[in-house]
């Protein structure tokens, strides 16, 4: 059932995404290549490290006890064809407990729903990843006003302790949302 829901959500994203279908396909290919490479390194990395890709920019989140392994994964990421930028937010720590992972998933799911329901936000232009109560936003804003609406939705959501904005036009124009 989860695979069916993921497939339906994926089709919806493709239909409403402002990016060309080719870019979305390239991002999916990068994501699959990285997940496969990480699992080859250690099967547990498939659960301990989250990979999010948007326009060739790769966000790595999660927790691994070894700094050397984190740096190795970053190197593997840079070596993957199509990768243009790497945001490494992997923590050197033990992975989160299942209850914490589920809580993060519930909060990010709630935020995704609120973004879809908020007038003036093109929610398909954003990818959200939440790990350890930190919400990471990737994507492209249609305007500064849209981005401000996105932040307002997030600000009103319990369970988010910090927001990290990884939207190039926002990064280049103003301080990060968590500054």
Tell me the C-alpha to C-alpha distance, in Å, between residue 32 and each of 38, 99, 168: 10, 26, 23
Residue 179 placed within a domain: no
Q: Please tell me whether residues 45 and 75 are part of one structural domain.
A: yes
The DSSP code for 59 is E
Lookup: tokens for 16: 């409403």
pLDDT at 26 over 80: yes
Inside any domain, residue 125: yes
Instruction: Look at residue 172 and tell me whether its pLDDT is greater than 80.
Output: no
Model confidence pLDDT, tens digit, residues 134-147: 999 999 888 889 99
Task: Count structural domains, the chain.
Answer: 2
Lowest mean pLDDT among 9-18, 89-98, 112-121: 9-18
Flag whether pLDDT at 175 surpasses 50.
no
d(CA 7, CA 15): 12
Confidence (pTM):
0.82
Same domain for 160 and 79: no
Q: Are residues 77 and 135 in the same domain?
A: no
- Tell me how far apart the alpha carbons of residues 87 and 157 are, in angstroms, rounded to a whole number: 24
Burial of 104 (0-12, 13-18, 19+ CB in 10 A): buried
Q: Clarify whether residues 105 and 62 are in a common domain.
A: no
Domain containing residue 141:
98-169
Are residues 6 and 88 both part of a single domain?
A: yes
Is residue 88 domain-shared with residue 6, that is, in the same domain? yes
**Is residue 115 over pLDDT 90?**
yes
Task: Give the residue from 34, 59, 92 where a domain finishes.
Answer: 92
Which helix (H) or strand (E) segment is 102 a member of? helix 98-117
Task: Say if residue 71 is in the same domain as residue 152.
Answer: no
């Amino acid at each position: 059932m989860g695979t069916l829901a993921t497939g339906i959500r994926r089709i919806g994203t493709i239909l409403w995404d402002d990016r060309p279908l080719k870019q979305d396909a390239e991002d999916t290919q990068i994501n699959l290549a990285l997940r496969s490479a990480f699992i080859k390194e250690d099967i547990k990395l498939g659960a301990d490290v989250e990979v999010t890709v948007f326009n060739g920019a790769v966000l790595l989140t999660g927790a691994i006890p070894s700094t050397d392994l984190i740096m190795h994964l970053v190197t593997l990421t840079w070596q993957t064809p199509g990768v243009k930028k790497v945001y490494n937010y992997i923590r050197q720590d033990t992975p989160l407990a299942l209850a914490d992972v589920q809580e993060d998933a519930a909060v990010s799911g709630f935020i995704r729903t609120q973004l879809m329901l908020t007038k003036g936000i093109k929610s398909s232009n954003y990818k959200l990843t939440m790990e350890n109560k930190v919400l990471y936003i990737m994507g492209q804003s249609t305007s500064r006003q849209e981005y401000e609406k996105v932040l307002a939705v997030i600000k009103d959501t319990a369970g988010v302790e910090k927001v990290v904005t990884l939207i190039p036009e926002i990064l280049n124009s103003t301080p990060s949302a968590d500054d």
